[in-house]
Every structure is written in C-alpha cells, then in structure tokens.
Copies of this chain bind each other. A is one copy, B any other.
Amino acid sequence: MSRNRDYGKSMHQLIGEMYPICRSITGNGVRETLEIIRSRIPLEVVEIPTGEKVFDWQVPKEWNINEAWIKDSAGRKIVDFADLNLHVMSYSIPVNKKVTLSELKKHLFSLPEQPGLVPHKTSYFSEHWGFCMTHNQLKALEEDTYHVYIDSSLKEGSLTYGELFIEGETREEVLISTHTCHPSLCNDNLSGISIAVHLAEQLLKQYQLRYSYRFLFIPATIGAITWLAKNEKVVDKIKYGLILSCLGDPGRSMTFKKSRSGEADIDRIVEKALSDTKGPYEIREFEPVGYDERQFCSPGFNLPVGLLMRTPYGEFPEYHTSADNPDFVRPESLADSLSKLEEILYIIEHNDSYLNQNPRCEPFLGKRGLYSLSGGKNKTNIDQEAVLWTLNYSDGEHSLLDISRKSGLSFRNIARAAEALMQIDLLKPAE
C-alpha cells in the first residue's frame, strides 16, 4: 500500500516535470520529453526523416515553435504561448501581422459551453495558424487592431519516437504503446507515459521475464503508422498489446476497449485482471475510432492490442482542455491504474496449460503432503477448491486463465494451486 502510494507520487511528479513542454507529433518538445524518459529507462530514440513514405502516408515536416502572442493596439499581450502552450494551435505556421478583430476571429478557437477553459487544437496536415483562448476572453475582445505573432517553423526534419525493448525468455512480445504528441495535457496523455515509464522500470529490475516487452513512446496515428511501417517483421511476435491512455483521472472505474477480434487472450486476461482486483470496470467492444489501436488493429495487422483507460477519452469534461492539468490527475489514480497493469502482467507471465498426471478420479492428496488442504484453507494459503478446479480442468484444453474464469476463483489463486501441484508432480506443462 505504501509502496503504491510512493509510486503514485513518483508518477505524478514525472507528469509535473513533462507538463510544461510543448509537444506535438514532431519537434523538439518530443525530443525533450524522450530525454526525460531516457534519464530513467534506456530508451532508444529514433528519428525518421520528413518525407519518408510510411504505407499510405509520408512523415510530415517537423514543427517547432519559440514564441507566440497576440497584442492589442496598446501593446498588451492578450494571450501568450509562454503562459500556456495550448494557446497556439499545434502546427501553426509562422505569422507576424496586424489584423482587425473580425480577421482575427477567423483564427481563434474557444469552447462556448466551457467558457473558462482553453481548448487544444491542431492542424497537422493542412497549413494554418490559430490561437486558442477561453470563451470568456474571446467574448470580451473589442474592436481593435491586433498584432499576431507566431515564431514557428515547419521544415524538413524528422519524426521522433522512443522505443525500449526488454528481452525475456522468449522473443514473443508484450507491446505497451503510449502517445507522446499532446502538449500540456496531463491525463491525455502524460498519465500513460508516466505509467509506462514506471512499469518499464519495474520490469527492468526483474531478472527473469517470460515474455519480451516492447515499450513505444510515439506520436498518435502518424507515429504508430511509422513504427508499423518500419517494423513489419516484429509484428508477428506481438502476442499481447496494450495502449495506455487517460490513466490518472479521478474516475474510479477502469475501462478496457477490447482488441478487434474481441476474443484475443489479451481481452480475456484484462477482463480477469480487472475482475480479480477491486473496483469497478467496464469492458467495451472494439471500434475503429480512438487512439493507436486504430492502426494496430487495422485489418492488415489485426493485432491483439486493446486500450486501457480509466474514464475514456472524450467522456471527461477536462478532455482536450486547459483543465487537463496536473491537478486533474491524482497520485492514487495513477497508483491504482499501475496496480491493475501489474495484475494484467502477472496473468500474462503466469498463464499456461498443464496436464493432470492423475486424470482418472481425484488423486489422494493426503499422502502427497497436501493433506492439510483437504479441510478447506490451510496455512500455505492454497485454496482446496482451487486445487480441485486446477486438477479437474488441466486436461490440455484449459489454460489457468480458462480455469480461473470457469471457477470464478482469482487467477492468482489458481496459479498458486498449479504451482503447488507442479511441485508434487501432479501437473506437468501441457506440451
């Protein structure tokens, strides 16, 4: 518990560190963010040059920004990028001119229904410029001549992403992917980044992992497309995959959006992990709108990749606004999300199929040193019911996950029983 509380604080702190940086789908903000991550885990930072063809797309020009503001005729800055990077539409081209209020308004974005919040806007694939402000501020603007100034650049450069591969006993992989393209927004998606970093730190400390783990820190859509285009040979190794996003909000319920097949092992594992751990959760079917599961689950790949969240994107009012700030994400939510992920990984690492070596009738557990079991619970903490379920269904057709789902007992309970039965040779690995 206190371990989790510490992790929660640590994850929240990392979010605070990354929060001020102006990220986009390319540019120095991404590089700066990946540097922070690389100070904690041995990330490989990859640069893919502008113009490179990635499936049906091309890597876009790189965008960077130094300064941006609007001044009124009295020279007062009415919005300033230096205050909040959301004030500038991401990928805004350079501009430096004086405009009337009505001309200015064509380039202003606000949220009439959330008049106190600044929206997040982007224009990645068509060249525009724009500013975002609160609707209250916009309504108060008077007729005037405004000086708009954006010192940005949109040039040949590269798309930057980070990748960490942790090799396990087999080359079969667990993919953990999280998007890095959002500017000062915390739940979407500094929460996903921070949790991924902490999870990677934990895995790096373990000297034995059954599966290999691949962490991706990539810009959404174009980043996933780029990575897939560059790593087609890796794709077949992906046995389980999770996109991490929106994992720090105060919502109590976890949400899992299943993979495209809806019946992949990852889908059943996440559902069991969420059911075994405390707290509400919701399982949703795949749909081809959302985050990078759109690319990993495109029909040509159809990978077993789902999306893990707390409150889903677009369903919390702070989504894509200035209210998605460090106060909105909570250490205890981050810690709870991480503990759910750990449970998922526990099942991934321990799920297997065994064969009951004494399949005809029950074995005589008493003479095999499991006698104290027969009355129910015992001091080894191995549940007698779990032993009987594990024996009965270890028939080569049911994995431990299947058995735990069928019995309604927790996966850990079944896995412990299987471990004890292995030790007395009543179970053997299935093939």
In the bound assembly, the distance between CA atoms of A224 and B360 in angstroms comes to: 11
Judge whether A385 and B289 touch: CB under 8 Å: yes
- Chain B residues with Cβ below 8 Å from A314 are none
In the bound assembly, the distance between CA atoms of A135 and B105 in angstroms comes to: 80
- A127 is an interface residue with CB less than 8 A from chain B: no
Judge whether B359 and A392 touch: CB under 8 Å: no
Judge whether B57 and A364 touch: CB under 8 Å: yes
State the interface size on chain A (CB cutoff 8 A).
42
- A316 is an interface residue with CB less than 8 A from chain B: no
User: Which residue in chain B gives the minimum CB-CB distance to A226?
Assistant: B361
- Chain B residues with Cβ below 8 Å from A366 are 125-126
- Chain B residues with Cβ below 8 Å from A161 are none
- A55 is an interface residue with CB less than 8 A from chain B: yes
In the bound assembly, the distance between CA atoms of A297 and B289 in angstroms comes to: 41
- Chain B residues with Cβ below 8 Å from A272 are none
Nearest Cβ in chain B — how far from A140, in angstroms?
28
- A100 is an interface residue with CB less than 8 A from chain B: no
User: Which residue in chain B gives the minimum CB-CB distance to A357?
Assistant: B56
- A358 is an interface residue with CB less than 8 A from chain B: yes
In the bound assembly, the distance between CA atoms of A395 and B287 in angstroms comes to: 15
**Does more than half of chain A's interface fall in helix, strand or loop, or is it mixed?**
loop
Judge whether A300 and B56 touch: CB under 8 Å: no
Judge whether A362 and B393 touch: CB under 8 Å: no
Contact of A56 among B126, B224, B287, B364 (CB under 8 A): B364
- Chain B residues with Cβ below 8 Å from A28 are none
In the bound assembly, the distance between CA atoms of A356 and B393 in angstroms comes to: 41
Judge whether B362 and A295 touch: CB under 8 Å: yes
- Chain B residues with Cβ below 8 Å from A356 are 299-300
Most interface-central of A298, A363, A393 (chain B CB within 10 A): A298
Judge whether A297 and B392 touch: CB under 8 Å: yes
In the bound assembly, the distance between CA atoms of A254 and B56 in angstroms comes to: 46
Judge whether B126 and A300 touch: CB under 8 Å: no
In the bound assembly, the distance between CA atoms of A55 and B55 in angstroms comes to: 62
Contact of A301 among B229, B299, B360, B407 (CB under 8 A): B360
In the bound assembly, the distance between CA atoms of A146 and B211 in angstroms comes to: 64
Judge whether B125 and A288 touch: CB under 8 Å: no
Most interface-central of A57, A260, A366, A392 (chain B CB within 10 A): A392
In the complex, besides A229-B361, A294-B392, 12 extra interface pairs with C-beta distance below 8 angstroms are A55-B358, A225-B362, A228-B360, A228-B361, A288-B392, A288-B393, A289-B385, A289-B388, A298-B361, A298-B392, A299-B395, A300-B356
Q: 26 A–B contact pairs at CB < 8 A? A: A55-B358, A56-B358, A56-B364, A57-B361, A57-B364, A125-B364, A125-B366, A126-B366, A221-B362, A224-B361, A225-B361, A225-B362, A229-B360, A229-B361, A260-B392, A288-B388, A288-B391, A288-B393, A289-B385, A297-B392, A299-B391, A299-B393, A299-B395, A301-B360, A301-B361, A302-B395
